[in-house]
Structure 1
Amino acid sequence: MQLVFTPEQEELREAVRRFFAAKSSSAAVRALMEDATGYDAAVWKQMATQLGVQGIAIPERFGGSGFSFVELAVVLEEAGRALLAAPLFSSAVLAAYAILDSGDEAAAGELLPGIADGTRIGTLACTEDSGQWDLGALTLPATADGAGWRLSGVKSFVVDGHAADLLVVAARTPNGLSLFAVDGSAPGLGRTALPTLDQTRKLARIVFDDVPARLVGADGGAAAALTRTLDKAVLALAAEQVGGAQRVLEMAVDYAKVRHQFGRPIGSFQAIKHKAAEMLLRVESAKAAAYYGAWAVADDSEEVPAMASLAKAYCSEAYFFAAAENIQIHGGVGFTWEHDAHLYFKRAKSSQMFLGDGTFHRERLLQRIGV
């Protein structure tokens, strides 16, 4: 397993960072927070045509660039650093991997090229009103008719569900948990935007009223495939969290150098040094967990399930700790709406709960390592 980024991967990082610095500034992010769609269609198109990030990890035979999960993690780390407001995670991670892991070549050939070139926005509709990420808690039923399948029920907390052209839906048939592709314009499909703590990541509640759907993969065979998808998703989220954690660490250190109190920079005070040192320790440890997990996926290692839960639990707490300490180091100005510190704090908090909280993943880790 290669545990060092290659020069090409570092060049990718620099290119993506420059793009996000220009297109995902604080002003742009704040404008999109107030926008109902939550993303800039022109920037989304540029991401596809200039960088190709939507399809970076999608195989070439399905219209993507065919790079590994490590390159995708690099992109997501930079997206987290810039608080990118765009459906990148929902489309390039959740929807794309759900289709790939299903093993349905026909569905992949039809659905993935649009995701790869950015003309189709996808998402995964998994959780229901309970918000549980345990697959055993999913109850939305799918029924067969002469023309195919129909869905009736509710999915909730669906990332970018308000804007998705394609919904990959986890539902139950008499044979068990299955995956279905639903067109965003299908009759009987209702969407309601949900109020969120983190306004940079939109969530929606989706109501299915006898909605036509296409089976993806084997009837009743989605549990194992969806588990693999969610393991990759939590590692992708860990990479995003690392990017945000690194950025708030830099914000705190930069401020500690220029803010003076009692005639000296506050960074010279031991209490501030201790805070910054603890932030650095946790951020670097989070990087180690996230990077190792990304390489494990790229290497198709049997360690992926354990690393996924370990990285999600640790990176979630590291990011939240760093975001909270950033506010403390900034003092009064850090609590204001005008300062960006609260944007990262809210993303950190929402990311703690997304795809399962620390308690959920610690319990899962223990199960996976046989404790």
Structure 2
Amino acid sequence: MTAPTAPTTPPAPTTPVAPAAPTDLLYSETEEELRSAVRALLTDRCDAKSVLARAETDRPHDPELWRTLAVGIGAAGLLVPEKLGGQGASHREAAVVLEELGRAVAPVPYLTSAVLATEILLGCDNAEATSLLRELASGRTVCAPAVPLTLAPGAPPPTPVRDLGDGSLTGTVTSVADAVAADVLLVLADTGLYAVLAASARLTPQVPLDLTRPLATVTLDAAAGTRLADPGTARAAVAGALLSGAGLLASEQLGLAEWCLTETVGHVRGRHQFNRPIGSFQALKHRLARLWLDVASARAAARAAADALATAAPDAPLTVAVAQAYCSGVAVRAAEECVQLHGGIGMTWEHPAHLYLKRAKADSLALGTAGHHRGLVADFAELPAP
């Protein structure tokens, strides 16, 4: 005789998990209006001839263009909340601006001042930082982080600057982007983050590959600074700014690649050889078709990064790393194809193709190389190290 079996308890009903909302990669009406305003300004005031002329000087920045972009259009305060005098927009709108600036290789300190410096100050949250944010949002002040442009998200920020104990700072930082255009420098020291007037620092220009985004060595010799954050807060703020900067840099790389593709297609359609447009040759068709697919994929990656930053998505670091790992190479390849398929004219100084190639190459090193970001993707996916 078998023993009776105990009655089984029915499983508890499970609550169905709602699928995550798909990422919206389309541009909103507001974003398209912003794009139209920025593109119209750059078409009128930032043509290739004027950019080339400024690149040959020791002051490549265009203050009038920056004033109109920052104040007239209000682009400087896009990431600043309205209560602090900004536009209260998101990273999606800032990404649209950077797309257009990439298309024009515009010599303005938008990435450094309106993105990196602004994000650092937003992470400080005190009266001094708030006051400086208001200045940035108004377009009256340009601010540059005194960190190497090559500093990548996930990498420990160096602190070569020392606080002498009375708020005066001493040290040297190399490869600081747009320092020559800045009114205020954000300096990461061993005791925290400080705001230092650029006039109190010694700036030694470096010779950059990209002449439209100048680099300088910043030397501080007992320079007075205003303390904005303690070391822990400062490092967290810089880390957040680097993440946002890398994600939005992908949009600049997208705009650059789009210009190169459009310009190259226009050239091969009009250039004739053997009484035929060279664009009708199958080999060139294949190269441009592949480049078009790469640019379309880069748009998806860049838009996904901007949306993840705008919504503070939990997977934003992964999305940003994917965007940078992909868009960096696409921008370089698009610029290389632009130079090659333009033939002899593409090799000359008069044609702007070299400006795009240099910006693409410089951007591939800024805020982390593609290899660095591929390593981050592997870490996030918990893949074993090779």
Alpha-carbon distance between aligned partners in 1 of 2:296 and 2:326, rounded to the nearest angstrom: 11
Cα displacement string for residues 246-300 of structure 1 (whole angstroms, at most 9, x for unaligned residues): 0000011000100001110011000110110111111111111110000011111
* Amino acid paired to 1:119: R
> Is the CA contact 1:161–1:203 (under 8 Å) kept in the aligned structure 2?
yes
> Is the CA contact 2:141–2:183 (under 8 Å) kept in the aligned structure 1?
yes
Q: 1:271 aligns with which of 283, 298, 306?
A: 283
SS of match in other structure, 2:341: helix
CA offset at residue 347 of structure 1?
Answer: 0.6
Cα displacement string for residues 183-223 of structure 1 (whole angstroms, at most 9, x for unaligned residues): 1123xx21011101111111111011122222222333322
> Is the CA contact 1:245–1:318 (under 8 Å) kept in the aligned structure 2?
yes
Segment of structure 1 superposing worse, 243-252 or 221-230: 221-230
> Is the CA contact 2:173–2:219 (under 8 Å) kept in the aligned structure 1?
yes
Structure 1 segments, 4+ long, off by >4 Å, are: none
Segment of structure 1 superposing worse, 45-54 or 152-161: 45-54
Please report the RMSD computed on the Cα atoms of aligned residues, expressed in angstroms.
Answer: 1.6
For 2:75, the equivalent position in structure 1 comes to 53
- Structure 2 residues not aligned, in runs of 5+: 1-22
Say whether 1:162 aligns with 2:180. yes
For 1:68, the equivalent position in structure 2 comes to 90
* Amino acid paired to 2:131: E
Alpha-carbon distance between aligned partners in 2 of 1:14 and 1:295, rounded to the nearest angstrom: 20
Give the alignment of 1:1-371 within 5 angstroms.
1-102=23-124, 104-127=125-148, 133=152, 135-136=155-156, 138-143=158-163, 145=165, 147=166, 149-173=167-191, 178-186=192-200, 189-371=201-383
Alpha-carbon distance between aligned partners in 2 of 1:163 and 1:13, rounded to the nearest angstrom: 25
Segment of structure 1 superposing worse, 212-221 or 45-54: 212-221
Cα displacement string for residues 118-140 of structure 1 (whole angstroms, at most 9, x for unaligned residues): 21111111129xx5546436131
> Is the CA contact 1:135–1:223 (under 8 Å) kept in the aligned structure 2?
no
> Is the CA contact 1:99–1:107 (under 8 Å) kept in the aligned structure 2?
no
> Is the CA contact 2:123–2:237 (under 8 Å) kept in the aligned structure 1?
yes
> Is the CA contact 2:81–2:89 (under 8 Å) kept in the aligned structure 1?
yes
> Is the CA contact 1:122–1:164 (under 8 Å) kept in the aligned structure 2?
yes
Q: TM-score, normalised by structure 1?
A: 0.93
> Is the CA contact 2:257–2:335 (under 8 Å) kept in the aligned structure 1?
yes
CA offset at residue 150 of structure 1?
Answer: 2.5
Q: TM-score, normalised by structure 2?
A: 0.89
Alpha-carbon distance between aligned partners in 2 of 1:353 and 1:213, rounded to the nearest angstrom: 30
Alpha-carbon distance between aligned partners in 1 of 2:239 and 2:214, rounded to the nearest angstrom: 23
Alpha-carbon distance between aligned partners in 2 of 1:331 and 1:299, rounded to the nearest angstrom: 44
Change (3 A) 1:265 1:360: same
Change (3 A) 1:216 1:370: farther
Segment of structure 1 superposing worse, 360-369 or 18-27: 360-369
Alpha-carbon distance between aligned partners in 1 of 2:329 and 2:128, rounded to the nearest angstrom: 37
Alpha-carbon distance between aligned partners in 2 of 1:106 and 1:369, rounded to the nearest angstrom: 40
Alpha-carbon distance between aligned partners in 2 of 1:107 and 1:3, rounded to the nearest angstrom: 37
Alpha-carbon distance between aligned partners in 2 of 1:261 and 1:79, rounded to the nearest angstrom: 34
CA offset at residue 35 of structure 1?
Answer: 2.9
> Is the CA contact 2:66–2:108 (under 8 Å) kept in the aligned structure 1?
yes
Alpha-carbon distance between aligned partners in 2 of 1:364 and 1:150, rounded to the nearest angstrom: 36
Alpha-carbon distance between aligned partners in 2 of 1:311 and 1:284, rounded to the nearest angstrom: 12
Alpha-carbon distance between aligned partners in 1 of 2:189 and 2:378, rounded to the nearest angstrom: 27
* Amino acid paired to 2:172: V
